Structure 1
Amino acid sequence: MVSAIAAGIQFGWALQLSLLTPYVQLISVPHQWASFIWLCDPLSGLVVQPIVGYYSDRCTSRFGRRRPFIVGGAFLVAIVVFLIGYAADIGVSTGDKIGVPRKPRAIAVFVFGF
């Protein structure tokens, strides 16, 4: 079972690494900034993981110490995956012009979701 979970994680990483950079270029993120976007993930993990660990260690929920954080994290991940996937559409619906190379609202939604 542990191997099956690890295989799923590896499939997720492979898809993210192979498809996310072309999507970043599709919403017109400048090429030199694409590597900075990839830094968002480890930097946010550096900040968020110790905070979640601190609060989950002190959690006294009737559902356990970790379950509320797992459920909350899964809910947030579902929302941000939606934001990342539809960043271009959300950008257009909030004012980005179709056919214009620069899409600042789509980039902002993508970076926030990522």
Structure 2
Amino acid sequence: MPSTSSTDSPQPPTTSPPQSTGKSETPPTNFPSAALPEGYPKVVKVASLPDQVRNWFQMQGTIQAVQLAPGVWTALQDGAAVEDAVNAGVLDGFCSSIKAFERRYRSGRTYPGACW
């Protein structure tokens, strides 16, 4: 009868730790552009927004916003790029639109902001 030893049994494959490429890696952003609906983001004038949202932004002195999806906006502060606003992590707009956006494009993660 053949003997069975621990060296005869199959072993799991060995893996090596990931090797550094020597390049600096960019940390992931909160809102990568690929995680927005097609056609977004859009820069819009606050004056063109629905009453509740417009009043909210005007109280903060904001004159432009970035629309991330239908019913979802974030402030575009003076001197900020659209990418800065998109990655700020604040969502303002209609509650159901924000919840749908978070569910579909943010894996259910919730973000601060105001909604109506």
Please tell me the TM-score bracket, short chain as reference.
under 0.3
TM-score by length of 2: 0.22
Pick the structure with greater CA Rg: 2
Structure (1/2) with the larger strand percentage: 2
Higher RCO structure (Cα 8 Å, ≥6 apart)? 1
Q: TM-score, normalised by structure 1?
A: 0.22
